[in-house]
Structure 1
Amino acid sequence: MSSPASGASHYAKGSAANILRSVLVVGAIVAVIFFAVARTNSVTPQQIDVPVAAEGHAVQSGEPLSYPVDLPEGWQATSVRYIRSTGDVMMWHAGYTTPDGQYVAIQQAVDGPEEWVNVQTNNGARIGTLTSEDGREWVQREREGKVQRSLVNDPEGKGELTTIITGTGTFDQLMEFANHLRQADPTPSSASPTSS
C-alpha cells in the first residue's frame, strides 16, 4: 500500500485569508494592465475628398455627377460612394453633416425610376416645390413620423440625372446644399468642375 502524499502546502489550503490574498494580487495585475494600455478618447473622422471622388465616378460612369462646392464653414463630408441601388440603379451618393449636426446627402441616378425615388425619400409625401438659384424646380417631400426631408429634381427627357437632396436637415439646409452643387466633367481629360 502506498503512503498518503505529504501534507499540502499551507498556501494551497483554501482558507479565507489565502483566497483574499489571491484576489488582491489578481486585481492589482488587472489594474496595472488597465491603466498601462492606451485608449483613444475620440476618433478623428477620416478626410473624404468628395470632388475627387465625384470627378472619378463621373469619368467612370460618363455622367456629370453633382457635388457641393464652397459650403459654409461647419459642413463636413461623411461618406461618398457609387453603388448599385434599388431597382438595379447605379447611384452616386455623397453625405454631409451640417454645422448643427444634421445629415444631408445628394443621391443621383440616370432616369431614376419612381420606385428608386420613393425608397430614397422614404416614401415621403409631396408637400410643395422650391426653385434653386440656378432655376431648377425641386419637389419637396417629407416623411411623417420620421425626420426625413427631401428635395427631388427629376428633369424631363431620357438619359437625365434624377437628383435627390435628402436627410434630417431643414428644407433651408437642403436648399442651401442644392444651391452649392456643381457638376463633375465626365470626360477623361477633365480637371475642373463646371457650374451645374
Structure 2
Amino acid sequence: MSAQPANRYLSGSAANMVRSLVVIVALMAVVILIVPRVNRITQPPVDVAGSADTIASQSGWPIEIPVGLPDGWRATSVRYERSTDGVMTWHVGYETPDNQYVAIEQAKDPTTGWVTAEVNRAAQKGTVEAGGRTWTTYVRDLKVQNSLVNRPSSKGELTTIITGTGTFAQLTEFVEHLQVVKPSSPSPSAT
C-alpha cells in the first residue's frame, strides 16, 4: 500500500490560518450588515391623567401632573410606590423633544433622606421662581442631573421635586404646566 500524500491545507501554516480568519471576518461583516437593528424602542402610551385620577382618589393627595406640554414631550412612566425611607412617592417621567428626561416626584412629609436621594445627592445652588412657587435648585455636575425642589412650610402638604437630565429652562417649563389633580373621594386608609 502506498501512503497518500499529505494535504498541504492540513499542515496548519500561518498563511492558512490568516486566510481562514479573513473568510470568517468577511462572513461576520456580511451578517452584521444584513441583520436589521432597532434604533429606538417605542413604548406604548402612558395614561398619566387616568393614573393620576386613580392615585389622587386612593391617596387623598392633591398630586400634580403637567397639562398642555408643547409638542414633542412624551410621558414614559407613571407610578405610585414606596421609595427611599419607605416614603410613598408619586412619580411621572417625561422625555423632552431633545431626548432629555424630566420627572415629577411628590411625597407627603418626606424625610431628608428621600429628598437627598431624589436629587441624587446634588449640591444646592440657589432658588428660582416658577409656577407661582419658589424652588430650590440642585445641580449634580458629574452625573448630569438638575433638580427643582419645593418643600412647603406646613406639615401635611406635598413636597414636589422636578428632576432629570433636562435643562433648568425645561424644568421650569414643566413646572409652568403643572396642575393639581383633586382627589374625587379620598381613601380613609391613605398613607
TM-score band w.r.t. shorter chain: 0.7 to 0.9
How many angstroms does 1:113 deviate by? 1.6
Q: How many residues align?
A: 153
How many angstroms does 1:43 deviate by? 3.7
- Helix, strand or coil for the counterpart of 2:104? strand
- Helix, strand or coil for the counterpart of 2:58? helix
Write the deviation string for residues 146-182 of structure 1: whole angstroms up to 9, x where unpaired. 1000000000111010000000000000000011001
One-letter amino acid of the structure 2 residue matched with residue 186 of structure 1: P
Equivalent residue number for residue 157 of structure 2: 160
Residue 73 of structure 2, aligned match among 66, 75, 85: 75
Write the deviation string for residues 108-161 of structure 1: whole angstroms up to 9, x where unpaired. 00012211000000011110111113x210000011211000000000111010
Residue 147 of structure 1, aligned match among 125, 144, 149: 144
How many angstroms does 1:81 deviate by? 0.2
How many angstroms does 1:186 deviate by? 1.0
Equivalent residue number for residue 62 of structure 2: 64
Separation in structure 1 between the aligned mates of residue 156 and residue 127 of structure 2, nearest angstrom: 23
Write the deviation string for residues 23-56 of structure 1: whole angstroms up to 9, x where unpaired. xxxxxxxxxxx9xxxx884643211010111111
Equivalent residue number for residue 170 of structure 1: 167
**1:1-196 aligned within 5 A:** 41=38, 43-133=41-131, 135-188=132-185
Separation in structure 1 between the aligned mates of residue 52 and residue 37 of structure 2, nearest angstrom: 32
Equivalent residue number for residue 17 of structure 2: none
Q: RMSD between aligned alpha carbons?
A: 1.9
Separation in structure 2 between the aligned mates of residue 142 and residue 159 of structure 1, nearest angstrom: 27
Separation in structure 1 between the aligned mates of residue 48 and residue 124 of structure 2, nearest angstrom: 29
Bigger relative contact order (CA 8 A; separation at least 6): 2
Separation in structure 1 between the aligned mates of residue 142 and residue 37 of structure 2, nearest angstrom: 37
- Helix, strand or coil for the counterpart of 2:89? strand
One-letter amino acid of the structure 1 residue matched with residue 100 of structure 2: Q
**Structure 1: stretches of 5+ with no match in the other structure:** 1-15, 17-33, 190-196
One-letter amino acid of the structure 2 residue matched with residue 177 of structure 1: F
One-letter amino acid of the structure 1 residue matched with residue 173 of structure 2: E
Separation in structure 1 between the aligned mates of residue 128 and residue 120 of structure 2, nearest angstrom: 19
Separation in structure 1 between the aligned mates of residue 90 and residue 42 of structure 2, nearest angstrom: 25
Tell me the TM-score normalised to structure 2 length: 0.75
One-letter amino acid of the structure 2 residue matched with residue 145 of structure 1: L
